[in-house]
Amino acid sequence: MADTNPIKQFEIHEVAPLEIAGLNLAFTNSAFFMLLATVSVTLLMALATNKRALVPGRGQSIAEILYGFVADMVRSSAGNEGLRFFPFVFTLFIFILAGNMFGMFPYLPLPIPGVDNHGFTITSHIIVTLTLSMMVMAIVVGFGVYKNGFKFLKLFVPAGVPPILYIIVTPIEVISFLSRPISLSVRLFANMLAGHILLKVFAGFIVMLGAAGAAWGIVGILPFAMVIGLTALEFLVAFLQAYVFAILTCIYLNDALHPAH
């Protein structure tokens, strides 16, 4: 019987082993999909913009719409000043979006023989999403301190509070700040993980029913319809989560620019 294990899709395989100073730095299928996302986005953008037509063609329109979409997002939540972070936010958004979309292939084998092949979603691993959100937090803290100095700490001392309450309010603000990278990464990771498991569980039902006998195979239409619906939903989630990640990045960057809210 076919393999219907719904969490096999999250397995990491070494493609090219590499060990430096006792650290396992092998090139894995996860790294391959990250590279695929980066290279394909770079190629798309380079091809779309190399003509620089005054009246954009189809490719250039895609690039311009993406640019306008992210620029509007940055401007509306971090102001014009926030546009200096546009390259960072755009890279984050497009990388997560491309990673999510490549994850939507149910089967996308690596072009390397002899490796256990299956599709892979880079954002379904918390180490990837946590690294991205830690990058955001490093920039927020780094730039906030660089631009505002000690005034950055005003973030933890909101104005208009009776002084005695700072004993409670400041720790709460600190915890709230520290919870940001975790909520940012957990939301993306949990959405992708849960969605893809659900998709594969229902797809597994089709195979199981098909293997159970001719009459059961007809019942398999039901999970098949479910898989179609879930796939559409997952495409939506793939876009929505990339959008949410990017817009929250903008909101946090706004705190770095204007710490006293």
Partner 1 sequence: MIMMSNRDEPDRSNPEDRLADFEKRLSARLESRNAEDRKYDRPRQGWAIGLRYGTEFMVGVLVGAAIGYLIDRVFDTLPFGLLIGTLLGFGAGTMNVVRAAKELSECASRDN
Site size toward partner 1, by CB under 8 A: 19
Q: Does 68 bind partner 1 (CB under 8 A)?
A: no
Q: Does 50 bind partner 1 (CB under 8 A)?
A: no
Q: Does 176 bind partner 1 (CB under 8 A)?
A: yes
Please pick, from the candidates 76, 142, 153, 235, the single residue that binds partner 1 as defined by CB under 8 A. 76
CA contacts within 13 A on the Cβ side of 222: 7
Q: Does 183 bind partner 1 (CB under 8 A)?
A: yes
CB of residue 67 to partner 1, shortest distance in Å: 21
CB of residue 214 to partner 1, shortest distance in Å: 38
Tokens of 213: 């006998």
Please pick, from the candidates 171, 221, 222, 228, the single residue that binds partner 1 as defined by CB under 8 A. 171
Distance between CA 183 and CA 175 in Å, rounded?
12
Which helix (H) or strand (E) segment holds residue 210: the answer is helix 166-212
C-alpha angle 14-123-101 in degrees, rounded to nearest 5? 100
Q: Which is nearer to partner 1, 224 or 239 (CB)?
A: 239
Strands (DSSP E) found in the chain: 14-16, 19-20, 23-24, 27-28
CB of residue 182 to partner 1, shortest distance in Å: 5
Binders of partner 1 among 225-254, rule CB under 8 A? 236, 240, 244, 251
**C-alpha separations of 234 from 132, 162, 200, 207 in Å:** 21, 47, 12, 21
Distance between CA 37 and CA 31 in Å, rounded?
10
CB of residue 72 to partner 1, shortest distance in Å: 11
Buried b (16+ CB within 10 A) or exposed e, 23-35: eeeeebbbbbbbe
On whether the CB atoms of residues 245 and 238 are closer than 8 A, the answer is no
Q: Which stretch binds partner 1 (CB under 8 A): 130-138, 142-150, 174-182, 205-213?
A: 174-182
Please pick, from the candidates 186, 201, 219, 257, the single residue that binds partner 1 as defined by CB under 8 A. 186
Please pick, from the candidates 39, 172, 212, 260, the single residue that binds partner 1 as defined by CB under 8 A. 172
On whether the CB atoms of residues 256 and 143 are closer than 8 A, the answer is yes
Q: Does 161 bind partner 1 (CB under 8 A)?
A: no
Q: Which is nearer to partner 1, 97 or 209 (CB)?
A: 97
Binders of partner 1 among 200-229, rule CB under 8 A? none
What are the two backbone dihedrals, phi and then psi, of residue 28, each rounded to the nearest 5 degrees?
-105, 175
Q: Which is nearer to partner 1, 90 or 189 (CB)?
A: 189
β-sheet bridge partners, residue 27: 16
Residue 160: DSSP 8-state: S
Cα Rg for the chain, rounded, in angstroms? Answer: 22
Q: Which residues bind partner 1 (CB under 8 A)?
A: 76, 168, 171-173, 175-176, 178-179, 182-183, 186-187, 190-191, 236, 240, 244, 251
